[in-house]
């Protein structure tokens, strides 16, 4: 009953020409794919051109971050409504690389999530523990803090515009995926937490994606888990054939 989401996070890769050519290569490979929400997240400068290239297709567009104010003297920032203007339907918020390198906190994530929802975007909110936190048995505590903080003041109604992505930091870009069972355990924990915060119907409806070294050869096992509703894909989303193989995991 939950439509899976497969999202490609292109991070800081690809010029406008490379990004448009990737989406053009991807289109025919996924045009027959039904029942999967397909999202790609290019860099800001490529968004509007990728939006043009993907218009009329089943590929949706995400930005990789946004600011929380609508406009003003905020040099260098991009507002959710401008992302919408560029053709985005989604925005990734709180990716671990932003938390690690750019001082993103649960408070800033929460402000951005609220602003994104207000602008009519779907927020893909990322959470995940580091290796040190996992080894210190703090995984659930860390995830709980991030989910509670990131989703503070979000209502059951606005949660419809939220997708949660569980991305263990130790699995991102390392080729080291969480096992199906390790991922499922955290996904089930997050769903339970959402039920506590916003009620069972919200928990049943919210999509929880797994991210961290998702590849064509491990996506099937992950997607077979009861609480895994999709994937946030970095490295393997940079090539049309590997991303399409992930999108088409079911076929
Ligand atoms: P990866 O990245 O698939 O390259 O591990 C995932 C992500 O950072 O979203």
Q: What is the pLDDT of residues 42-74, one digit of tens each?
A: 999 999 999 999 999 999 999 999 999 999 999
CA 244/CA 234 separation, integer angstroms? 13
- Give the per-residue pLDDT at 141: 98
What is the CB neighbour count within 10 angstroms for residue 100?
A: 12
* 85-93 mean pLDDT: 98
Q: E strands along 150-228, which residues? A: 162-166, 207-211
pLDDT interval class at 240 (50, 70, 90): very high
The answer for 191, left when phi > 0, alpha when psi is -120 to 50, beta otherwise, is alpha
Measured from the Cα of 171, ligand 1's closest atom is 5
CA 46/CA 190 separation, integer angstroms? 33
* 159-177 mean pLDDT: 94
Residue 177 pLDDT exceeds 90: no
Residues with CB under 6 A from ligand 1: 9, 167, 172-173, 211-214, 232-236
To test ligand 1's pocket by mutation, which of 211, 231, 243 has the most ligand atoms within 8 angstroms of CB? 211
CA of 237 to the centre of ligand 1 (A): 9
- Model pTM score: 0.98
- Give the per-residue pLDDT at 175: 86
Question: How high is the mean pLDDT of the chain?
Answer: 97
Sign of the C-alpha dihedral computed for residues 218, 221, 222 and 223 taken in this order: positive
* 79-96 mean pLDDT: 98
Residue 251 pLDDT exceeds 90: no
Catalytic residue status for 187: no
To test ligand 1's pocket by mutation, which of 177, 214, 239 has the most ligand atoms within 8 angstroms of CB? 214
How many residues are given for the chain? 251
Residue 1 pLDDT exceeds 90: no
CA of 96 to the centre of ligand 1 (A): 10
Catalytic residue status for 95: yes
- Give the per-residue pLDDT at 176: 86
In order of 121, 134, 157, 234, the CA distances from 118 in angstroms are 7, 34, 12, 27
Q: Which of 37, 129, 133, 167 is catalytic?
A: 167
* 235-239 mean pLDDT: 98
- Give the per-residue pLDDT at 165: 98
């Amino acid at each position: 009953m939950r439509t899976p989401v497969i999202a490609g996070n292109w991070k800081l890769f690809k010029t406008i020409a490379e990004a448009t050519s990737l989406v053009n290569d991807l289109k025919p490979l996924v045009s027959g794919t039904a029942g999967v929400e397909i999202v790609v997240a290019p860099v800001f400068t490529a968004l509007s051109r990728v939006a043009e290239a993907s218009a009329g297709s089943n590929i949706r567009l995400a930005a990789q971050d946004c600011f929380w104010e609508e406009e003003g003297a905020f040099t260098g920032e991009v507002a959710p409504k401008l992302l919408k203007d560029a053709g985005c339907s989604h925005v990734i918020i709180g990716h671990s690389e932003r938390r690690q390198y750019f001082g993103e906190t649960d408070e800033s994530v929460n402000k951005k999530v609220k602003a994104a929802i207000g602008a009519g975007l779907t927020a893909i909110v990322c959470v995940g523990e580091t290796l040190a936190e996992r080894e210190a048995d703090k995984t659930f505590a860390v995830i709980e803090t991030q989910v509670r903080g990131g989703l503070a003041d979000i209502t059951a109604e606005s949660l419809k515009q939220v997708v949660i992505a569980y991305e263990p930091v130790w699995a991102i870009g390392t080729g080291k995926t969480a096992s199906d069972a390790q991922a499922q355990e955290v996904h089930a924990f997050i769903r339970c937490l959402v039920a506590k915060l916003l009620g069972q119907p919200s928990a049943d409806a919210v999509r929880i994606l797994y991210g961290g070294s998702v590849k064509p050869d491990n996506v099937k096992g992950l997607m077979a888990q009861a609480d895994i509703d999709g994937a946030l894909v970095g490295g393997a989303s940079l090539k049309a054939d590997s991303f399409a193989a992930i999108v088409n995991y079911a076929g």
